[in-house]
Amino acid sequence: MFQINQLRVGSILDIPALTIEPQTITCITGESGSGKSTFLRLLNRMISPDTGTINYQGTPLEEIDPVTLRRQVVMMSQEPLLFPGNIADNLQVGLRFSEKPDASVMELAEMLRFVKLQQPLDKDPFKLSGGEKQRLALGRVLLMNPNVLLLDEPSSSLDDETESFVLQRVVERVRQHQKTLLLVTHSKTLAASMGEKHLAFAHGTPKDVTGGISHE
Ligand SMILES: Nc1ncnc2c1ncn2[C@@H]1O[C@H](COP(=O)(O)OP(=O)(O)OP(=O)(O)O)[C@@H](O)[C@H]1O
């Protein structure tokens, strides 16, 4: 899905070579400031590298129209983005950006249940708690069902049990739809148990620690 070579972003990232296979779940861990968010932002061209190449499905990223790319490679950042309107509007906005048909009220209600957000569709999202805002943003990107989902600590405001529950369901759903997921999580336990690949970032360089064994 992505091939990365000789990539550098200032002194933040240094990735000699990395391949992300299609239809795989990749979990990403690493200390604060190790470059995890910057790495995700590169993959949908929110930022560009200083040197090196990233290919998406065999095409260099800079040759792909950014809007087209961001309809296929969707990022949910740590700070949940909210738009004016109610919860339903905030769920639909991703579908509209992707030029996909609106979801029905039933589908929206089902998505709220899926992300464990027990709030009415007509509620003002700005009145939600931090964790609820996160789950709303998660519901929005899940509805979009993109080729590639980039989730940057989507459940950091949840207690461990709810976090594990929600993430397991997200992973199951991505597998069912045969999509590709890159998931940043602070939980090494979840990262080790959930994906096909576990990348541990240190000082801007990912190390493949899948299965607890280093495959440098
Ligand atoms: N726009 C920017 N301009 C300058 N430096 C930046 C910018 N964005 C990030 N950085 C720096 O790059 C480094 C990596 O940041 P990044 O957000 O990728 O780390 P992270 O591993 O996601 O951290 P966290 O777990 O705290 O979210 C940090 O030192 C940060 O200060």
What pLDDT does 66 receive? Answer: 94
What pLDDT does 201 receive? Answer: 96
Q: In this prediction, what percent of the chain has a pLDDT beyond 70? A: 98
Give the CATH number for residue 93: 3.40.50.300
Task: Residue 50: give the domain boundaries.
Answer: 2-212
What pLDDT does 136 receive? Answer: 95
Mean pLDDT of 77-102: 94
What pLDDT does 95 receive? Answer: 96
8 A C-beta contact, residue 56 and residue 64: yes
Question: Which of 13, 15, 28, 36 maximizes ligand 1 atoms within 8 Å of its Cβ, making it the mutation to test the pocket?
Answer: 36
What pLDDT does 86 receive? Answer: 97
> How close is the Cα of 165 to the center of ligand 1, in Å?
28
Query: Which residue's CA is minimally distant from atom 2 of ligand 1?
Result: 38
> How close is the Cα of 100 to the center of ligand 1, in Å?
33
Residues near ligand 1 with C-beta < 6 Å? 12, 30, 32-38
> How close is the Cα of 33 to the center of ligand 1, in Å?
5
- Evaluate if residue 216 carries a pLDDT over 80: no
8 A C-beta contact, residue 127 and residue 134: no
pLDDT in tens, 53-64: 999 999 999 999
54 beta partners: 4
pLDDT in tens, 100-158: 999 999 999 999 999 999 899 999 999 999 889 999 999 999 999 999 999 999 887 77
What pLDDT does 159 receive? Answer: 78
Q: What mean pLDDT, rounded, does the chain reach? A: 93
Mean pLDDT of 31-59: 95
What pLDDT does 190 receive? Answer: 87
Mean pLDDT of 169-188: 94
State the pLDDT confidence band at 215, using cuts at 50, 70 and 90.
very low
> How close is the Cα of 71 to the center of ligand 1, in Å?
24
Tokens of 180: 């590709």
Domains contained in the chain, number: 1
Mean pLDDT of 75-89: 93
